[in-house]
Amino acid sequence: MKKVLLINGHEPYAFAEGRFNQTMFDEIENQLKGKFTITKTIIKDGYNPEEEQEKFKQADAIIFQFPIYWFSAPALMKKYIDEVYAHGVFFGMGEEGKKYGYGNGMMNGKKYMFSITANSPAYAYNDTEQFFEGKSLDESLFHLHKINEFCGMESIESFGAFNVIKEPQAEQDLIRLKDHMTKIITQLN
């Protein structure tokens, strides 16, 4: 049975406690149960970098669930990446770099997916007249994709729940997430 690592990258704030982010994390787990061996990390609860590296080594796929804070991942998630994505484990610059090449990393063969919550409205994407200047969700997460690509991982189409604070539509978002996961599960096998 293939292995999936689920990472909850939420960082709580008074205005964003993370209940919907946790609901999405739980729904992803529910969709994968029985089909994959699942390991989990909830970053805000703490972690051991070496244990996390082992989880990555064992996983066939990694799914990150996190909110967008200032057009990127929360600071705790960035710190997690800084501490876990270590030289000699995720990438190399010496002999490993020659073996794997720049941007080919040491996590080859692994897939990853981003599932995000954002307060930006869906219409702000994919329209040249809107804020993201025609960029898709995945294009707006370019820098986060490049981190994982540098380490050799292959992306799977991201999922986004939008306008989650101003005009939440939790029921519809969960239906869309279930549909997305149905499509994604075939790509993970």
**How many domains does one find in the chain?**
1
The boundaries of the domain holding residue 13 are 3-188
Q: What is the pLDDT of residue 189?
A: 76
- What is the Cα–Cα distance from 86 to 146, expressed in whole angstroms? 15
What pLDDT is recorded for position 53? 98
Contact between 189 and 61 under an 8 Å Cβ cutoff? The reply is no
Residue ranges of alpha helices (H) inside the chain are 19-32, 49-58, 75-84, 95-100, 137-140, 142-150, 170-188
Nearest to 85 by CA among 40, 138, 47: 47
pTM of the complete model beyond 0.85: yes
Residues 131/114, Cβ–Cβ less than 8 Å: no
Q: Average pLDDT across each block of 10 residues of the chain; the chain has 189 residues. List them in order.
A: 95 77 95 96 97 98 94 94 93 61 77 94 83 84 93 94 86 95 87
Paired sense of beta strands 61-67 and 154-161, if any: unpaired
- Helix ranges, 90-169 (H): 95-100, 137-140, 142-150
Q: What is the pLDDT of residue 5?
A: 98
State the pLDDT at residue 182: 94
Q: For residues 40 and 82, what is the distance between their CA atoms, to the nearest angstrom?
A: 18
> Cα(60)–Cα(3) distance, rounded to whole angstroms?
5
Contacts of 56 (CB under 8 A, 6+ apart): 5, 62, 84, 89, 90, 107, 110
The pLDDT of residue 96: 54
Residue 20 belongs to domain with CATH number: 3.40.50.360
